[in-house]
Amino acid sequence: MNIQQLNRIGQYTSFAHLLLHNLIISDFLFAGDLRIISTTQENKGRLEIYHNGEWGTVCDDGFENVDAAVACKQLGYCSGVAVAPSAVHHGVATIWLDDVNCNGSESKLLNCPSNDGNHNCQHTEDIGIHCFLSCSTENNGNLRLIGGATNNEGRLEVNFYGEWGTVCNMQNTGSALVACRQLGYCSGVQLPSEAVNASYGTAWLQNVRCSGTEEGFVNCSSVFNPTTCAQPYDVGINCTQTCLNAGDINLFGGKNENEGRLEIFLNNAWGTVCDDYFENIDAEVVCRQLGLWGGIVIPAAAVDNGYDTIWLDDVQCKGTENRLTNCSYRGSPVSCNHGEDIGVKCFVNPPTEDQGILRLVGGSSGNNGRLEIKLYNEWGTVCDDSFENVEAAVACRQLGYCSGHVLKSTVVDDGNGTIMLDDVDCLGSEDRLLNCSYDSYTGDCGHQHDIGVYCSFECPKSGTLRLLEGSNKNEGRLEVYIQDTWGTVCVNNFDTIDATIACQQLGYCSGNAVLPNLVNDGTGTIWLAGLLCSGIESRLVNCRQLDSVIQNCRSYHDVGVSCSLNCPSAGKFLHERL
């Protein structure tokens, strides 16, 4: 060691201190030396500078790529870029430099103008640097696949400046095609993010978007902004030697390969399909063409918008076609926007002979529990939206019981498979749940809404009454059980005496008819009409009825009643009628 070096160390007060601190613990340190603090890679991390005998940090105020390049060159790299404080671990020691302002020709960061020693920064502003391993651009844009089960799939990595990094958030389906072609395959698709093992390395490119016809991946539109990709957005692809043909379709951006935004390959590029007139029958053709089963429309609002051409509009299939292009449609240009891109959900298995059978899961005994239905050889749950006692009774009858009622989703254990049916709406006379009207698209329902039922072998006696859809349990639409089904009562001629008999039969003491416009009409058979109760009947079905009035009931509402446990002070009106 010579005097010059000792002078450069500068701050040390004694040679003994120098020996202890530096000769033993590390190499010689000089004022202005730099280091990168990182837990992942040595060329990227928090920048630290040795100053006044102590390592400290550099504030991000005014720190740009030109400053990072000076720091990287000082560290022996060819160049580099700045890394925002949010992407590095913060330091704890002194903040040595602020407002660093290099012009690029300096050989040491300390030689650059800066607010030496004074700063108005916090450690949340500690700057990082990312130094390039090589300044040759020869291999920039080279691609490789990493960590896949087979060679043709895995996380997509791209090389820049001698370093392999990832691609963060690839936006469209043409991008995987271009990447796979560059890798020597004929086509390929993006993997769902769950299928990609995350990397914590550099994400060189963000928001890549290829039209599909680019010469190489670097020719696609993208943002070159080396940072770390917020997991799980590292892109993975699955390439194949199978080439695409015009009219090929695929589902993109869904939870799995069986569902997602529908895209069709036409004119050498992927594009989307407009939702106008697109129904389940069209979705069935899609699933058949994909070698899958079923076919449920996922509304445009529930799929991520596509980016490229909208190839098809007004798709109308007969249902027998094997390819979507065999259906009638209107081709591009179409008058739709990407907010109308349709999605489709398919099933992996063909339907079995027992398609639509039911089971009860997780109940306190066999006759109750979460309701599950088997579709396409897969058990799934039913959403509680509009699922009421009428629907529960149909389910229980299908299960071989005579009656049943709803168990609210809050009291049944949540299922975990596919949610098969939503908005189930039965008339009450169906013998299978699948004969009721329902919505197969259940994406707006979660497992916390899985419905349950409680079934019983006991049938209601003919003439049994119930109240439905009231705001309290003592009021609602009046329904009567006759010939093994629940039906309604016609409002014509219905008066307080009839309401009182109904309420007394239900265990109340008095009752009133509810204004017809406050009652939701039922959907089943109208069993009773033109009632003329005398006031002494014990059951509503024992009341006299005006003959043949049920036919006239179409233009009337169903009866609703409001019952009370309070008894009338005197039975005056009853006597009047008597």
Ligand X SMILES: *[C@@H]1O[C@H](CO)[C@@H](O)[C@H](O)[C@H]1NC(C)=O
The token pair that represents 388 in the structure block: 């009421």
Q: Does 196 bind ligand X (CB under 6 A)?
A: yes
What are the structure tokens assigned to 266, written together?
Answer: 């036409």
Stretch that binds ligand X, among 34-42, 165-173, 190-198, 564-572 (CB under 6 A): 190-198
Provide the 3-class DSSP secondary structure of residue 412. Answer: coil
Nearest residue (CB) to ligand X, 150 versus 472: 150
- Kind and range of the H or E run holding 67: helix 65-74
Among the listed residues 45, 128, 154, 295, the single contact to ligand X using CB under 6 A: 154
Interface positions, 409-448, toward ligand X (CB under 6 A): 416, 430-432, 435
Window contacting ligand X (CB under 6 A); options: 145-153, 171-179, 274-282, 560-568? 145-153
Q: Coil, helix or strand for 5?
A: helix
DSSP codes joined into one string, 216-265: SGGGSEEEEEEEPPPTT-B-EEEEESPPP-TT-EEEEESSSTTEEEEEEE
Q: Under a CB-based contact definition with an 8 Å cutoff, are residues 184 and 241 in contact? A: no
Buried b (16+ CB within 10 A) or exposed e, 160-177: bbbbbbbbbbbbbbbbbb
136/335 with CB nearer ligand X: 136
**Is the distance from CB of 285 to CB of 321 less than 8 angstroms?**
yes
Please work out the total of residues on this chain that contact ligand X, with binding judged by CB under 6 A.
30
Contact between 216 and ligand X per CB under 6 A = yes
Whichever of 219 and 332 has its CB closer to ligand X, that residue is 219
Residue 219 CB, shortest distance to ligand X, in Å, is 4
User: Does residue 54 touch ligand X according to CB under 6 A?
Assistant: no
Q: Which is nearer to ligand X, 153 or 475 (CB)?
A: 153
Q: Is 238 in the site for ligand X (CB under 6 A)?
A: yes
Smallest gap, in angstroms, from Cβ of residue 375 to ligand X? 13
Q: For residues 245-267, b (16+ Cβ closer than 10 Å) or e, as one string?
A: eeebbbbbbbeebbbbbbbbbbe
Angle at 36 between CA 30 and CA 39, to 5 degrees: 140
State how far the Cα of 332 lies from the Cα of 314, in Å rounded to an integer: 11
Q: State yes or no: residue 219 binds ligand X (CB under 6 A).
A: yes
218 binds ligand X (CB under 6 A): yes
Query: What CA–CA distance (Å, rounded) separates 550 from 542?
Result: 17
CB neighbourhood size of 468 (10 A): 18
CB nearer ligand X, residue 238 or residue 500? 238
- Contact region with ligand X (CB under 6 A), list: 195-203, 392-400, 490-498, 552-560: 195-203
Q: Does 174 sit near ligand X (CB under 6 A)? A: no
Smaller CB distance to ligand X: residue 34 or 327?
A: 327
Report residue 76 as tokens. Answer: 């022996």
- Contact flag: residue 197 with ligand X (CB under 6 A): yes
Interacting residues with ligand X between 535 and 574 (CB under 6 A): none
The residues in 76-115 that bind ligand X, with binding defined as CB under 6 A, are 103, 105-106, 111
Q: Rounded to whole angstroms, what are the CA distances from 174 to 36, 110, 261, 442, 494?
A: 38, 47, 14, 29, 67
Q: Considering only residues 276 through 335, tell me which ones interact with ligand X, judged by CB under 6 A.
A: 321-323, 326
| Binding footprint of ligand X on the chain (CB under 6 A) | 103, 105-106, 111, 147-149, 153-154, 191, 195-197, 215-216, 218-219, 236, 238, 240, 321-323, 326, 361, 416, 430-432, 435
